[in-house]
């Protein structure tokens, strides 16, 4: 009995010390334990606590909320009135062409169109593609030998003869400055091996540029079954062409003198594009006329802050030869006077996303971009962010997990990806062991 009392006497102080230590350290242990669980993503924030906070916030903002509700009708009416006022300021161009379109050459955005997506004949504006395919695929110092087929082409002609030889560079000046049909065929046969082969190259280039409503049959644009384009596609082709310095040099030359290689017969070609002298910054591009297509013209101007492409197809028939010039100026003035450069990208800080089973609770996000374009003052921009509610570990940094969609006047213009910023590993036994070891060893 005495021995038993002595045994309890020895253990009681230790037990009392353990109880005292546990009481003192309880709060610290609980705080540290909660931190581990929260950081690991094993549990969400306390729902009841968060709900109480949200209810308190709602009550605090009730008065402001009621103001917003009661003023919604007035705001909507004011917005409608502003839209009506702005729309009355912008006067759309009045054109005679059966198909007309104005394009921002920096991004190929359509600024105005009237039947701009309708498939039509395009006459010698075809030669824009003939020229650019040649520049992309041939050396300008190559020698072209004229075939009998090329020499028989109808007006407009350079009057080249079978067997004559010319440098390819000289024939491109003849093609673009005076629109010679015989020269177009000679070039096509040389570069493509045949008319059909060159047409395939033209169509391949059109598809590469995204022109799905264009089909080339001839290199000169003479009326042919299945030979067509749209004002939109033709503007895109011209937008590509004017980015080529050699193309601009040729089409902006006032005159060019050259000789046939074998016998030295001299030719002089002069630029028939009057638009080059009609507006400041005019840089091209090409006229055209056939009985089916009517008068056609593709124009381009380059100002300090904008480059515009205009297209008019079916712009009158004889004797209305000058309508293509007045229509082109109308389109260009509309673009110059009503559109200015705007940056519409929103540099926002996105909320982090909860990560299930992650060694970190939240993933931070980033979205970067530059959306600079020509816009009217009355055009509206809306941004819609598409993101998942949660992510599942593991996650790699710089992974695209959503996007920001930019709408202009309710039409989708651009999508910018949203990326993760950090690697987050999935919770595993090793991670849990390390956390628990830190917890129970009081390393906090």
Query: 3-state class of 285 per DSSP?
Result: strand
Q: Catalytic residue, from 127, 205, 232, 324: name it.
A: 127
Active site residue 179: yes
Active site residue 124: yes
Asked if 220 and 192 count as a contact pair (C-beta separation under 8 A), the reply is no
Q: Catalytic residue, from 40, 99, 124, 239: name it.
A: 124
Q: Which residues contact 311 (CB under 8 A, 6 or more apart)?
A: 99, 100, 101, 103, 116, 125, 231, 232, 234, 235, 238, 296, 297, 298, 299
DSSP code for 44:
P
Active site residue 326: no
Q: Catalytic residue, from 40, 99, 174, 179: name it.
A: 179
Burial of 399 (C-beta count, 10 Å sphere; 0-12/13-18/19+): middle
Asked if 181 and 220 count as a contact pair (C-beta separation under 8 A), the reply is yes
Asked if 221 and 122 count as a contact pair (C-beta separation under 8 A), the reply is yes
Which run of H or E residues covers position 259? strand 255-259
Give 373-389 as a DSSP string: EEE-TT--EEEEEE--S
**Pairing status of strand 143-145 against strand 381-386:** unpaired
Q: How far apart are CA 159 and CA 359, in angstroms?
A: 79
Which residues form the catalytic set?
A: 124, 127, 179
């Amino acid at each position: 009995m005495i021995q038993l009392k002595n045994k309890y006497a020895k253990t009681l102080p230790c037990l009392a010390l353990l109880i005292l230590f546990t009481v003192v350290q309880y709060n610290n242990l609980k705080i540290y334990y909660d931190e581990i669980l929260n950081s690991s993503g094993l549990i969400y924030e306390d729902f009841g606590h968060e709900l109480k906070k949200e209810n308190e916030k709602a009550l605090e903002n009730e008065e402001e909320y009621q103001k917003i509700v009661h003023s919604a009708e007035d705001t909507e009416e004011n917005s409608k009135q502003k839209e009506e006022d702005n729309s009355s300021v912008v006067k759309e161009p009045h054109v005679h062409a059966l198909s007309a379109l104005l394009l921002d050459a920096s991004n190929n955005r359509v600024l105005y169109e009237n039947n701009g997506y309708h498939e039509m004949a395009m006459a010698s504006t075809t030669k824009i593609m003939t020229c650019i395919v040649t520049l992309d695929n041939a050396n300008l110092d190559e020698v072209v030998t004229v075939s009998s087929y090329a020499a028989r082409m109808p007006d407009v002609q350079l009057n080249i003869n079978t067997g004559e030889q010319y440098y390819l560079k000289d024939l491109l000046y003849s093609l673009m400055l005076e629109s010679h049909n015989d020269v177009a065929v000679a070039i096509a046969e040389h570069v493509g091996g045949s008319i059909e082969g060159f047409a395939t190259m033209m169509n391949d280039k059109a598809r590469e540029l995204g022109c799905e409503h264009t089909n080339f049959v001839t290199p000169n644009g003479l009326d042919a079954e299945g030979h067509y384009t749209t004002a939109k596609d033709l503007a895109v082709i011209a937008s590509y062409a004017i980015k080529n310095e050699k193309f601009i040099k040729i089409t902006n030359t006032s005159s060019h003198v050259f000789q046939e290689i074998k016998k030295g017969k001299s030719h002089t070609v002069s630029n028939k594009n009057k638009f080059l002298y009609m507006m400041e910054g005019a840089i091209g591009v090409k006229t055209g006329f056939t009985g089916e297509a009517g008068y056609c013209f593709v124009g381009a101007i380059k100002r300090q802050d904008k480059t515009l492409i205009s297209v008019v197809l079916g712009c009158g028939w004889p004797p209305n030869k000058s309508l293509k010039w007045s229509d082109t100026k109308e389109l260009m003035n509309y673009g110059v006077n009503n559109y200015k450069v705007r940056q519409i990208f929103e540099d926002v800080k996105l909320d982090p996303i909860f990560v299930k089973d992650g060694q970190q609770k939240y993933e931070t996000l980033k979205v970067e971009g530059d959306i600079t374009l020509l816009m009217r003052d009355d055009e509206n921009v809306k941004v819609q962010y598409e993101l998942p509610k949660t992510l599942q570990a593991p996650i790699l940094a710089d992974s695209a997990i959503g996007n920001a969609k930019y709408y202009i006047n309710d039409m989708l213009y651009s999508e910018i990806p949203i990326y993760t910023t950090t690697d987050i590993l999935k919770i595993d036994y090793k991670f849990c062991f390390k956390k628990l070891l830190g917890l129970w060893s009081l390393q906090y």
